[in-house]
Amino acid sequence: MVRNYTDAQLLKRVEEIDGFKEIPSNYWILGVRSNEDLSNQFDDKFYIFNGRRFVMVMIGTTHPGLTILKDYSKFNSLGAAIVKADKWYYNLWVYGMHRGKIPALIQLGNKITVHRDNNKNGKSEQLGREYDGYYGINFHLNNYNLSDLSKKNYINGWSAGCQVPNDASKYNDFITLAKASKQKFSYCLINEFNVKP
């Protein structure tokens, strides 16, 4: 599980990341990818900010599940999409419906950078060529039933590259804010980091 950070530590870190221009003035999402990267488990975190103000944090995954890593060809013949970390993606998402089933943030705003993992070893890896484009990398819950507040034990097919929270209660609160805000949402994905003394 990703270590805990203060707001100040997170904000300082994202200002050092590739592509940093400014802290968005509206709602934005910061993903922190676990260095441990337990296979097929929700071991990452999503921090929601409004400008520089912390709003909430959710457990989730920034990696595809084992189902996709082992059988990615249903989605893309080049491999499973692994979003490149330590990078900013400004105005990436807009409010919409994921697969027409649940409210989500969908990738209609801007391009995202991914690696294509195709070695089928069950481990998400940022290896080889980078691809920039529109790949349907959405931010959505791990369930099509928003009233089911249970947490899942395994990612499995719930992420084929999408960024997926594992906390329906907090997700519902956030997606309500997202719908009302009528904005584009920026995303910064970083690797877990050591805090300098």
pLDDT per position as a tens digit, 153-165: 999 999 999 999 9
Q: What domain range is 108 assigned to?
A: 7-191
Number of residues assigned to the chain = 197
Pairs from 100-103 (Cβ < 8 Å, separation ≥ 24): 101/144, 102/140, 102/141, 102/143, 102/144, 102/146, 103/146, 103/175, 103/178, 103/179
User: What is the torsional sign of CA 31, 33, 39, 43?
Assistant: negative
Note whether residue 78 is domain-resident: yes
CA-CA distances (angstroms) from residue 70 to 57, 122, 130, 157, 181? 30, 6, 20, 10, 38
CA 168, distance to chain mean position in Å, is 15
Q: Where are the beta strands (DSSP E) in 5-86?
A: 27-33, 44-50, 53-61, 80-83
Strands 164-165 vs 87-98: parallel, antiparallel or unpaired: unpaired
Note whether residue 196 is domain-resident: no
Q: What is the pTM of this model?
A: 0.96
CA distance 184 to 124: 28
- Backbone torsions φ then ψ of 30, nearest 5 degrees: -115, 115
Percent of the chain beyond pLDDT 70? 100
CA distance 168 to 76: 28
Per-residue pLDDT averaged across 131-145, rounded? 97
Q: How many separate domains does the chain show?
A: 1
User: Is-contact 62 33, C-beta < 8 A?
Assistant: yes
pLDDT at 196: 78
Note whether residue 2 is domain-resident: no
Does 6 score more than 80 pLDDT?
yes
